[in-house]
């Protein structure tokens, strides 16, 4: 005969334990570093202030801090792309991008486009391309100036070795760029004019 205690233990062991419902955690959506809707509202408000100032014959008001922050964020994030991040003059690229945004700020038309993020990303992108082309051209000029210098005619200073100078000349000859940059700088034309595109410089702005 089973004791009362043994019966209770057996009932507990055979009892069905209800399965716990697993909670499905949905990953939180990451906020974009530039809120396009808020950016658009800020641009509409700024354009309205500019129109009122122009109607009264006054100077245009300064760009708001929020719009300036958006330009800076777009330029910084774009510079971290794999095709831009390794350039030593990346800070100059960012500065050029922000300068171009301020220069062509008045060309953005909220009635034609509700995506200021894509518009200014495009401006900054082509500013980067122009800076890269300028730097490549300057690098080629510097190399040619060095190559044209006549090291054999230079007077050796005490302790200098002519063989070392010859080796340095050979090094420059081997590392001289084969071709000069052939593509012309891309100009961002005002008032909604279409931008020139190169075959290699393609970008899908809507996917940023």
Residue extents of the structural domains in the chain: 31-148+171-207
- Angle at 19 (CA atoms; ends 16, 24), nearest 5 degrees: 180
The whole-chain average pLDDT of the chain stands at 76
Tell me the pLDDT tens digit for each residue of 35-57: 999 999 999 999 999 999 999 99
Burial (0-12, 13-18, 19+ Cβ within 10 Å), 112: exposed
How far does Cα 160 stand from its chain's mean position?
46
Q: What is the pTM of this model?
A: 0.63
Give 97's pLDDT tier (boundaries 50, 70, 90).
very high
Type and span of the H or E element at 54: helix 36-55
CA dist., res. 46 & res. 72, Å (int): 18
**Of 132-136, 160-164, 173-177, 202-206, which gets the smallest average pLDDT?**
202-206
Q: How many residues does the chain have?
A: 208
Of 140, 53, 69, the C-alpha closest to 101 is 69
Q: What residues contact 45, with CB distance under 8 A and at least 6 apart?
A: none
Say which residue, 175 or 64, is predicted with more confidence.
64
Q: What residues contact 186, with CB distance under 8 A and at least 6 apart?
A: 126, 129, 130, 195, 196, 197, 198, 201
Query: Residue 74: left if φ>0, alpha if ψ -120 to 50, beta else—which one?
Result: alpha
Of 38, 29, 45, the C-alpha closest to 115 is 38
Tokens (6 digits) for 104? 């062509």
Q: Is the pLDDT of residue 7 over 90?
A: no
**DSSP code per residue over 155-189:** PPPTT--HHHHHHHHHHHHHHS-SS---SPPPP--
CA dist., res. 81 & res. 61, Å (int): 33
């Amino acid at each position: 005969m089973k004791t009362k205690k043994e019966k209770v233990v057996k009932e507990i062991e055979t009892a069905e334990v209800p399965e716990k419902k697993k909670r499905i955690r949905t990953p939180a959506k990451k906020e974009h570093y530039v809120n396009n809707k808020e950016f658009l509202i800020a641009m509409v408000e700024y354009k309205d202030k500019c129109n009122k100032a122009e109607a009264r014959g006054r100077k245009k008001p300064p760009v708001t801090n929020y719009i300036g922050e958006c330009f800076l964020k777009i330029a910084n994030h774009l510079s971290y792309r794999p095709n831009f991040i390794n350039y030593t003059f990346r800070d100059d690229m960012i500065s050029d991008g922000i300068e171009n945004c301020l220069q062509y700020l008045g060309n953005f038309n909220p009635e034609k486009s509700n995506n200021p993020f894509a518009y200014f990303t495009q401006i900054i992108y082509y500013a980067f391309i122009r800076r890269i082309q300028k730097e490549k051209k300057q690098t080629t000029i510097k190399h040619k100036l060095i190559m044209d210098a006549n090291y054999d005619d230079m007077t050796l200073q005490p302790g200098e070795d002519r063989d070392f100078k010859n080796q340095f000349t050979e090094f420059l000859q081997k590392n001289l760029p084969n071709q000069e940059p052939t593509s012309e700088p891309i100009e961002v034309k005002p008032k909604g004019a279409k931008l020139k595109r190169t075959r290699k410089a393609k970008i899908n702005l809507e996917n940023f």
